[in-house]
Amino acid sequence: MKKLGFLLILGVLLAVILVGCSGTKEPAPKVAKIPAIPHEVTQGMDCKSCHESGVNGAKITKHLDRPNCTSCHKVKQ
């Protein structure tokens, strides 16, 4: 009889632990799509000259500290 009570308590504890561990997970964060460069890119081009101030309607970048734009952004074909 004592064994049955012990097993019952053990089963309840395991159920509580399993329910607690299988709670809802937060959804994985969405990864932003890196936009393509919509214009010609030439060797030695200084992207910051336009993208720092928005000259000619250029999108102002939030990461001017990164020196090589084409390491992430690809030229639109």
In the predicted model, is pLDDT for residue 54 greater than 90? yes
In the predicted model, is pLDDT for residue 77 greater than 70? yes
Instruction: Give the model confidence (pLDDT) of 58-74 as tens digits.
Output: 999 888 888 889 888 99
How far apart are alpha carbons 53 and 61 in whole angstroms?
Answer: 9
In the predicted model, is pLDDT for residue 28 greater than 80? no
Tokens 């992430």, located at residue? 72
In the predicted model, is pLDDT for residue 21 greater than 70? no
In the predicted model, is pLDDT for residue 75 greater than 80? yes
How far apart are alpha carbons 1 and 5 in whole angstroms?
Answer: 6
What confidence score (pLDDT) does residue 7 get? 81
**Cross-strand partners of 37:** 75
Give the SS3 label for residue 75.
strand
How far apart are alpha carbons 69 and 77 in whole angstroms?
Answer: 16
